[in-house]
Structure 1
Amino acid sequence: MQSWKPVAEDLFTWPAEQPSLIAGRCSDCAAMAFPLRAGCPRCGGTEIRRELLEREGVLWSWTSQGFRPKAPFTGNLLGAGGDLWYVGLVEIGGEIRIESLLTGVTEAELEFGMPLRLTVIPFHTDDAGDTIAAFAFEPAATSESADV
């Protein structure tokens, strides 16, 4: 039986009905970093607490691409005909901004400050036939939890 697996460990909670991104908060200076890492990028502290980020955020900025990234990229992000795909900077909780794929949007729909919600999307299929899952953000108004 094929299953869904996260693209990387400790990136987001999976499997989960309501997946969350996994960040780290420094015990010394309270800085938050995503993805989770062993040391603080601000002060160099090594006592990092694992913290789940809120599932909703707002679009801070974005860009589009209409070409496949170079190797070793293995994702299937482009639709038939070479459609554009979008990458955004999403602010979460007024505290941290993260880069993410944007899904379920067109260029005409994108606007600064639009509410977004975390979702899980298929990234590619591995040699065993399992779906490798990645996180993305989609418009909050049309979001439904992943049912995979």
Structure 2
Amino acid sequence: MAGVPIADGLFTWPSDEPRLIGGSCGRCGALSFPRRAGCPRCGASGPVEHLIGARGTLWTWTSQGFAPKEPFNGAIGEGGLGVPWYVGLVEIPGEIRVEALLTGVSEEDLRIGMPLRLVVVPWRTDDEGREVVTFAFAPDPDGQRSSETEEVGARA
């Protein structure tokens, strides 16, 4: 898939193995995504680029039964990602939790702790006719369920 990223500096693209681009604070070590000009924890300026792991586990999720209203410009709904669509909080082990679209799943598939991997998906076609792509997470058949996440999810 070719395409242009939905935003510069959000994920590595083009890439056979895309990664999210976060920021790591040189003062306190906090990791943030997306990368910011300042640290969200201590306020230090200039966090350095940090490539975030591409595999994680589902921490929690929700669904939306209708396409977002204007001025939304993505492809959710007819001809796009479909309705309902899913958003999850994905835990990248030892790094961060990231909110992201979930793709390639149905409600019956979704389980707290399920292994996921980062993918790039079509988002829309821009005014110049180019395909715009964004990141999402999809089931990772080669991944391991997180027993720690399962345990926390079972208590919630």
Normalization by structure 1: what TM-score?
Answer: 0.89
How many pairs are equivalent?
A: 140
Q: 1: distance between equivalents of 2:110 and 2:18? A: 23
Q: Indicate the SS of the match to 2:141.
A: helix
Q: Which amino acid aligns with 1:105?
A: V
Corresponding residue of 1:39: 38
Please say if 1:51 is aligned against 2:18. no
Q: Mind listing any 5+ residue stretches in structure 1 that lack a counterpart? A: 144-148
Partner of 1:75: 74
**Offset at 1:67?**
1.3
Give the ranges of 4+ consecutive aligned residues of structure 1 lying more than 3 Å apart after TM superposition.
none
Q: Which residue of the partner structure matches residue 26 of structure 1? A: 25
Alignment correspondent of 2:15: 16
Amino acid at match of 1:123: W
- 1:60-139 correspondence runs (5 A): 60-79=59-78, 83-139=83-139
Which residue identity is paired with 1:69?
P
What is the CA deviation profile of residues 51-85 of structure 1, one whole-angstrom value per residue up to 9, with x for unaligned ones? 001110000000000112122211112246x6200
Query: C-alpha distance in 2, partners of 1:72/1:97?
Result: 27
Q: Which runs of 5+ in 2 are unaligned?
A: 144-156
Provide the secondary structure at the position in 2 that maps to 1:141: coil
The whole-number CA distance in structure 1 between the counterparts of 2:30 and 2:134 is 25
Partner of 1:146: none
Contact kept? 1:58, 1:90, Cα under 8 Å: yes
Q: Please, what TM-score do these two structures have when normalized by structure 2?
A: 0.85
User: Contact between 2:67 and 2:83, CA under 8 Å: does it hold in 1?
Assistant: no
RMSD: 1.6
Secondary structure of the equivalent of 2:63? strand
Secondary structure of the structure 2 residue equivalent to 1:107: coil
Task: Judge conservation of contact 1:66–1:78 (CA < 8 Å) in 2.
Answer: no
| Same amino acid, percent of matched pairs | 54
C-alpha separation in 2, matches of 1:57 and 1:96: 10
Contact map agreement 2:23 2:31 (CA 8 A) in 1: yes
Contact residue 68 and residue 76 of structure 2 kept, 8 A: no
